[in-house]
Chain A
Amino acid sequence: MQEPPKLLRVENLQTHIFLRRGVVRAVDGIDLELAAGETLGIIGESGSGKTMTCLSLLRLLPKAGGRIVAGRVLLDGTDLTQVPEAEMARDWRGRRIAMVSQDPLTALNPVFTIGDQVGGPLRYHHLANGRAAVRKAVTAVLRRVRIPSAETRLDDYPHQFSGGMRQRAVIGMAIASAPRLLIADEPTSNLDVTIQVQMIELFRDIQRETGVGIILITHDLGVAASLCDRIAVMYAGRIVETGPVRAIYRNPAHPYTQALLAAIPHLGQKRTRLLAIPGQPPSLIDPPAGCRFAARCAHATPRCTEAYPPDVTVASGHVAACWLAQAGERTAAA
């Protein structure tokens, strides 16, 4: 059976940030795949490169320092790294790819109404023309993100919305143009847990209704488990493990993934002590030659520090970059 072509394929993406004190290899060669209607979670901590990845896909890197130095980003077959900036802004950003970020307060301009801002992408990309048409489209969008009394609320200002409502409005802005790919960078980190659960439902509903592909970037393993179909774990600029969500959580193959799962408290499983991962992530200006997690890994061998481990297929669709991961087995759990 022929597999349908992937919505998104990222091949060997490398993004470097050029600082006075050196070149930070923020994203150091990652490969990703996403099918339409699927949710891929990128799990990583601060400094792992996950936000840089997200900015690279949208080509929103800070002009002063950041640049994609290698790799391809193929969305529906088009390599976005080669698209000229004007075309990127006109046809792709906000149109076929959209982004939702962490803080709804700073994503919304306080002096414009919600209706104005949600209507922005519609007007800019000529998806609705004339005030009446835009208003109608915006109301439909606000309804879709479950904002009650959408017809009247679109004349409100951001400060009149609560935190959860603002995030819904920001999601509305993102999906207004019916994008193919939605990138959500820590969309629920600032929200209360009872609002967060509504947001998770909303993402799932939107995906079901529109078939959009979602990349969810988060450090929260619980949120990732609730939303994602597949997971990619990032560490120090590289992807160390990829696989279906159940495989990652039930059978983590990479010691970093295992350590992350053992480091957090799990509701309902009272343990006496959490596994503390010693040390710090390595510098990205001068990363070590071998496995970047080796310095903190409980199972490190001399080979781990000498050469970067290849991708090992642990099971179907489940890959880990570790010398110790063998197909069908897993390394001793912590």
Chain B
Amino acid sequence: MAEPVAIPIPRPLSARLFGFARSSGFPWIPALILALVVGAAIGGEDIAPFDPNALDIGAAFKPPAWLDGGSFEHLLGTDNLGRDVLSRIIAGARISLIVAFYAIVFSGGLGALIGMTAGYFGRAVDTVIMRLVDIQMSIPSFALALVLATVLEPGLHTVTIVIVIGYWTWYARIVRGEILSLKQRDYVALARVAGCGTLTIFRRHLLPNILNTLLILASLQVGQVIIFEASLSFLGLGIQNPDVSWGLMLADARGYITNAWWAITMPGIAIMLTCLSSNLLGDWLRDSFDPKRRQL
């Protein structure tokens, strides 16, 4: 009864991925920028030319290397306390990425879990959960952040908690929508017919299919989280000295913009580039995961 059926020989996964990346407009420059940021975060103070907290009042307000009075010693200049801006940016990358990572993992995980529960079980469970989401979302996230940050001690943990509380609803909403549509697929019904339990269906059918969405959401959120953290630190509610964060650098340099514009601009550019790169990468991910284009 078996008739000859031609089955295509699959190319190795690496070849497929690389060919796919090449052919679909992979954003190389944003990826490079993000790679640099990650590299800086990993290297941290070890690769920074100076100790980010080393004071050197004599070298205060040195401009960046390409301006008059600057030197290659302090590539991006120094701030009001003589601290090397470049070193502080490198050190700040670590904090920013750590906050982004934990915030996204926890808010994404929590939000996805809640969203999946609401979407899959529907009816009463769904209604209750979504009303909670609505209530949460109607509270201005920044006001909430301020309250929480004053109640808790300012620092890395506070920032992370505040972001998680602010952002999980976003994930929950989107994941719930995905689950609602995935639920209708025949293969989910057939899994039930096969005898699979709810947990198995979640694990095998629902979770992998929303992983794409979560990945895209996460990459789009990196920029948002960094800015959020920077804003909190700027207001003095987030990272405190001697920890370095880009937001803190903005806050510190606010008072002397006219004297040393580079001290506030450089971290600002770092924030902007990171945010932009992650957005572009997220856009590309979203476009390439569109099943109509999937030819892997």
Are A and B genuine complex partners? yes
Q: How far is the CA of A278 from the CA of B1 in the complex (A)?
A: 11
Q: Is B186 an interface residue (CB 8 A)?
A: no
Q: Are B23's CB and A20's CB within 8 A?
A: yes
Q: Which residues of A contact B6 (CB under 8 A)?
A: 280
Q: Are A278's CB and B3's CB within 8 A?
A: yes
Label chain A's interface by main secondary structure. Answer: loop
Chain B residue at minimal CB-CB distance from A276: B3
- Shortest distance from the beta carbon of A178 to any chain B beta carbon, whole Å: 39
Q: Which residues of A contact B3 (CB under 8 A)?
A: 278-279
Chain A 271-282 per-residue mask, 1 if CB under 8 angstroms from chain B, else 0: 000000011100
Q: Which residues of A contact B23 (CB under 8 A)?
A: 20
Q: How far is the CA of A219 from the CA of B207 in the complex (A)?
A: 39
Chain A residue at minimal CB-CB distance from B3: A278
How many chain A residues have a CB neighbour from B under 8 Å? 4
Q: How far is the CA of A37 from the CA of B29 in the complex (A)?
A: 63
Chain A 6-21 per-residue mask, 1 if CB under 8 angstroms from chain B, else 0: 0000000000000010
Q: How far is the CA of A20 from the CA of B3 in the complex (A)?
A: 32
Q: Which residues of B contact A279 (CB under 8 A)?
A: 3
Q: How far is the CA of A66 from the CA of B6 in the complex (A)?
A: 28
Chain A residue at minimal CB-CB distance from B23: A20
Chain B 20-33 per-residue mask, 1 if CB under 8 angstroms from chain A, else 0: 00010000000000
- Shortest distance from the beta carbon of B122 to any chain A beta carbon, whole Å: 25
- Shortest distance from the beta carbon of A297 to any chain B beta carbon, whole Å: 15
Chain A residue at minimal CB-CB distance from B295: A21
Q: How far is the CA of A107 from the CA of B18 in the complex (A)?
A: 40
Q: How far is the CA of A279 from the CA of B4 in the complex (A)?
A: 8
- Shortest distance from the beta carbon of B71 to any chain A beta carbon, whole Å: 52
Q: How far is the CA of A270 from the CA of B3 in the complex (A)?
A: 26
- In chain A, positions 262-305 with a C-beta closer than 8 Å to chain B are 278-280
Q: How far is the CA of A331 from the CA of B209 in the complex (A)?
A: 52
- Shortest distance from the beta carbon of A301 to any chain B beta carbon, whole Å: 20
- Shortest distance from the beta carbon of A59 to any chain B beta carbon, whole Å: 25
Chain B residue at minimal CB-CB distance from A20: B23
- In chain A, positions 13-69 with a C-beta closer than 8 Å to chain B are 20
- In chain A, positions 227-285 with a C-beta closer than 8 Å to chain B are 278-280
- Shortest distance from the beta carbon of A17 to any chain B beta carbon, whole Å: 16
Q: How far is the CA of A279 from the CA of B23 in the complex (A)?
A: 32
Q: How far is the CA of A20 from the CA of B20 in the complex (A)?
A: 12
- Shortest distance from the beta carbon of A281 to any chain B beta carbon, whole Å: 12
Q: How far is the CA of A278 from the CA of B2 in the complex (A)?
A: 11
Chain B 271-284 per-residue mask, 1 if CB under 8 angstroms from chain A, else 0: 00000000000000
- Shortest distance from the beta carbon of B231 to any chain A beta carbon, whole Å: 43
Q: Which residues of B contact A280 (CB under 8 A)?
A: 6
- Shortest distance from the beta carbon of B296 to any chain A beta carbon, whole Å: 13
Q: How far is the CA of A278 from the CA of B3 in the complex (A)?
A: 8
Q: How far is the CA of A278 from the CA of B5 in the complex (A)?
A: 9
Q: How far is the CA of A280 from the CA of B6 in the complex (A)?
A: 9
Q: How far is the CA of A280 from the CA of B3 in the complex (A)?
A: 12
Chain B residue at minimal CB-CB distance from A278: B3
- Shortest distance from the beta carbon of B4 to any chain A beta carbon, whole Å: 8
Q: How far is the CA of A279 from the CA of B6 in the complex (A)?
A: 9
Residues of A within 8 A of B (CB): 20, 278-280
Q: Which 4 A-B pairs have the closest CB atoms?
A: A278-B3, A20-B23, A279-B3, A280-B6
Cβ contacts A to B, 4 pairs, < 8 Å: A20-B23, A278-B3, A279-B3, A280-B6
